[in-house]
Amino acid sequence: MGKIFLLFIGWRGFLLVTLSFAIGILPLQMNFLGGGLSNYLKHPYLWAWINFDGEHYLSIARQGYQPLTFFYFPLYPFLIRFLANIFGQDFVNLAISGLVISNLSFLIGIIGLAKLIRLDYSEKIVKLAILILLFFPTSFYFGSYYTESIFFASVIWSFYFARKGRWFWAGFLGGLSSLTRIIGLAIFPALLVEFFIVSDPARRFLKLRLSKFLPAFYLLMIPLGLSFYMFYLKRETGDPLEFFHSVSIFGEQRVPGFVLLPQVFYRYVFKVLPNIDYSYFPVVFTTWMETITAVSFGGLGLLGILGGFVLRLHSGSMRRIRIPKIRLSYVTYLVIGYLIPTLSGSFSSMPRYVLVLFPAYIIMAMFLSRVPKIAANLIFFLLIISLFIVTSLFTRGYWVS
């Protein structure tokens, strides 16, 4: 755990150094600064991490839900308000409380990730997966005023407790995840797969005893978290799906219906990418980052499916492919967690949404463990450069994801 803590401190230090450079080299965009322009200019090392959606979570924590904010799920702002009660609910304490929750949750999450990966893989895979996660281009969101950290921690530990057969805690933490983000629903089918298929299926299906299946009922707490929020929305707005129907407030890039993944790819290839303003670097960089992320994680999902369903390839030609082996429950979470954000018809924010899809980092770590060291170093170099660019843009008020 000491090494993980040092990696966390190093990552946090890198982000602060990046912000220092960004303050000196990037002009400030003032439209979506956390805390407003005056607060940002006085204390940029605090308020730079509360830009964009962070403003909404801060507002909810401060004064409750207002019109057009129901898209943001309640657990994170509730915890912020709870912690701020200890020190006082002024503006600064609410800001600090949220950042403390985010950073502490991320540390707890990566500790859990290491423990989870060690159940199946070597220490080398553990190290590579954590490094990929820390240097992923949008990893700064884990240290920002966003839900990524608390969601990540609840998902990781939910899977870990499921692997250990402690189904109450798996269901409870899964319920917290669905009270944090809609993607939390992806954990429900994934842990059902873990319970009924992966975890000693012969014993469960050949010895049909009710007591063997009772722990599965704990998993019903996962959709229950979302149900609580839907009940609140029904009472306050009359629409239990207000969080879904209000997606149109984010502009034409998202629609309040369901759009299939091939349609989204078609839209990007033939409409979005050819028509962006290629003279404006932030838009070009973020749009291509969205597209590359969607393609890359879609490919990782397909590899995960192969690795989950085809664990042993015996033919001579297939044996040499060496498809990474990964648990079917992990693959279920990866694929569903990837698909849910695309249903809005856009890859907008995709580089942030995929941050919490931990099976992808395991697959990437297995591949990096097999490539020449110079290739692995090049990939990490590109990740670090991308993290530097994206963090710089975000902290200076440029939208990135």
Residue 62, pLDDT > 80, answer yes
Q: Which residue has the higher pLDDT, 73 or 247?
A: 73
In a domain, 400, yes or no: no
Confidence band (pLDDT; 50, 70, 90) for 247?
A: low
Q: What is the pTM of this model?
A: 0.92
In a domain, 169, yes or no: yes
- CA 235, 158, 71, 93 dihedral sign is positive
pLDDT of residue 316: 45
Q: What is the pLDDT of residues 7-61, one digit of tens each?
A: 999 999 999 999 999 999 999 998 889 888 999 999 999 999 999 999 999 999 9
Residue 371 lies in a domain: yes
Domain that holds residue 298: 2-395
pLDDT score, position 166? 93
The per-residue pLDDT for range 130-143, each reduced to its tens digit, is 999 999 999 999 99
Q: Examine residue 370 and state whether it is found in any structural domain, yes or no.
A: yes
pLDDT > 70? residue 315: no
Quick check: is 290 in a domain? yes
Q: Is residue 401 part of a domain?
A: no
The DSSP string of 3-53 is HHHHHHHHHHHHHHHHHHHHHHHSPPP-TT-TTHHHHHHH-HHHHGGG-TH
Whole-angstrom distance, CA of residue 396 vs CA of residue 401:
14
Count of domains forming the chain: 1
Two tokens at 165?
């057969």
Q: pLDDT by residue (tens digit) across 69-90?
A: 888 999 999 999 999 988 777 8
